[in-house]
Amino acid sequence: MELSFKLEVFEGPLDLLLHLIEKNQIDIYDIPIVLITEQYMEYIKNMETEDMNVMSEFLLMAATLLNIKSRMLLPKSETADDEEEEDPRAELVQKILEYKMYKYMSMELKDMSMGAARYIYKPATIPDEVAAYKPPIDYEYLIGDLNLQRLNDIFRDTMKRREDKIDPIRSKFGNIEKEEIDLDAKTEYIKMLLWSGKKISFKELLEKQDSKMEIIVTFLIVLELIKMGLVNIKQDDLFDDIIIKVANVTMEEFMGAEIGEENGES
């Protein structure tokens, strides 16, 4: 009774060689060329293909294996300098290693592609009411050419001047205590100062404060008044002083406005 079996399909001669090496659990750097050549030739004999291009590739590798086999069977020649001869398998090993690297890279990319196919992406959608929203206050109109960097520079400049006035020795004497500031009282003071003159220099306002904490609180109160639309700020040129002016509101609106409760007391 005649037995029939189906040969595995390989993508090329290197694919077949890699399969034989892994099947026989062979060290790829020390290939037993006789064993691999015999198994490779056995596969060639049982191949059933009419594609001469495919067959020629396998036959070319068979010739290469036979050439390597014959070179390894020859006795080693002794050179004058006793130099080690190049291993006939070296070039073949390098080709197999490169093929193995690209093969497993392609398998990894295929797995990644299959994983990505499981994700469904949805285009961004914004509700009409969100897209149509406009902030209640135009901050660009309020501050004009002034920006937060400029405000920060003024704040740092003021703090530097105060630090220059501190005695580096005696300032370290005594106990450090938490400084309590009445936010409501400080707000009323700044409002009265602004309303009485209708405008004031921002730098002058900060320099009137007695401590670092008062400067910070004053700075925040001014920002809050700007946010509420109760005051406007103006700067004629890039490095000129900033002038704070009361907006076009009544005294009742200006003095009766309360700073948001989220600020709390410092």
Q: Where are the domains of the chain?
A: 13-73+86-110, 139-166+181-260
Q: In the predicted model, what is the mean pLDDT of residues 210-220?
A: 83
Alpha-carbon distance of 259 to 261, in angstroms, equals 6
pLDDT score of 263:
42
pLDDT score of 145:
60
User: Please, which pLDDT band fits residue 262 given cuts at 50, 70 and 90?
Assistant: very low
Query: Which percentage of the chain shows pLDDT scores above 90?
Result: 2
Q: Say yes or no to pLDDT of 169 above 80.
A: no
Q: Say yes or no to pLDDT of 261 above 50.
A: no
pLDDT score of 252:
81
Alpha-carbon distance of 70 to 13, in angstroms, equals 19
pLDDT score of 265:
43
Q: Kindly give, in sequence order, each residue whose CB lies less than 8 Å from that of residue 50, ignoring residues fewer than 6 positions away.
A: none
Q: Say yes or no to pLDDT of 210 above 70.
A: yes
Burial of residue 42, with CB atoms counted within 10 A of its CB: 0-12 exposed, 13-18 middle, 19 or more buried = exposed
Alpha-carbon distance of 144 to 237, in angstroms, equals 11
- 3 state SS of 233: strand
User: Please, which pLDDT band fits residue 116 given cuts at 50, 70 and 90?
Assistant: confident
Q: Which of 37-46, 169-178, 205-214 has the highest mean pLDDT?
A: 37-46
Spatial CA neighbour of 17 closest among 100, 90, 104 = 100
Enumerate the β-bridge partners of residue 243: 201, 234
Query: Which percentage of the chain shows pLDDT scores above 70?
Result: 75
The CATH T-level fold of domain 139-166+181-260 is: Arc Repressor Mutant, subunit A (1.10.10)
pLDDT score of 59:
86
Q: Say yes or no to pLDDT of 255 above 80.
A: yes
